[in-house]
Amino acid sequence: MLPKWHILYGYIFALFLVHFFKFSLFAGLIIFLSSVFIDLDHVLIYVIKTKNINPCKFYSWSMKRKKAWELTSFEKKEEFRKPNFIFHGVEFILLLIISSFLNSFFLWILMGILLHLVLDFIMLVYEREHLSIKTSQIWLWQRNKNRKEFVVL
């Protein structure tokens, strides 16, 4: 899902919680920011692969990969590694659940991230993609071991 949609839905969700459930503005802000900034792992992958931190080049690189992936057949997609988004899996969620028992700040982060992941799952179902890339990063890492890297020229 494109960032603009995560921003819009994250804002609406946080506003809803602040208005109807009397969350503090600070809690709403943390929920909103976590629903958007979870995607920093996408940027991290770009920086590791390209050794570049230019945001414009990141956007261009991401759009080229997205278009090339959409044009790839389902059978061909199974030959390639799926991206390992470290903040998009059950492992990270479990860390946040455990941390939320220590401080409500982590519960707010968890709420924003869960909203983000629900939106991502809806998008994956709509695009008929495998849900594995947003489920378990350890399982995905194991699954990727004997697969080729998806390269876009």
The predicted-structure confidence for 68-111, as pLDDT tens digits, reads as follows: 999 999 899 999 999 999 999 999 999 999 999 999 999 999 99
Contact 75, 54 (CB under 8 A): no
Alpha-carbon distance values, 70 to 3, 27, 119 (Å): 18, 37, 19
d(C-alpha 35, C-alpha 83), whole Å: 19
**pLDDT higher than 90, residue 131:** no
The residues spanned by each domain of the chain are 3-144
pLDDT band at 50 (very low <50, low <70, confident <90, very high): very high
Mean pLDDT, to the nearest integer, of 122-138? 91
Res 153: pLDDT = 78
**pLDDT higher than 90, residue 65:** yes
DSSP letter for each residue of 62-112:
HHHHHHHHHTS-HHHHTTBPPP--TTSSHHHHHHHHHHHTT-HHHHHHHHH
The identity of residue 28, as a single letter, is G
Res 130: pLDDT = 83
Res 133: pLDDT = 86
Q: Give the rounded percent of residues in the chain with a pLDDT score beyond 70.
A: 100
Nearest partner of 150 among 101, 83, 92, judged by Cα:
83
Nearest partner of 38 among 8, 10, 59, 66, judged by Cα:
10
Res 25: pLDDT = 98
**pLDDT higher than 90, residue 146:** yes
Angle at CA of residue 150, ends 124 and 43, nearest 5°: 70
Res 109: pLDDT = 98
Res 73: pLDDT = 93
d(C-alpha 47, C-alpha 44), whole Å: 5
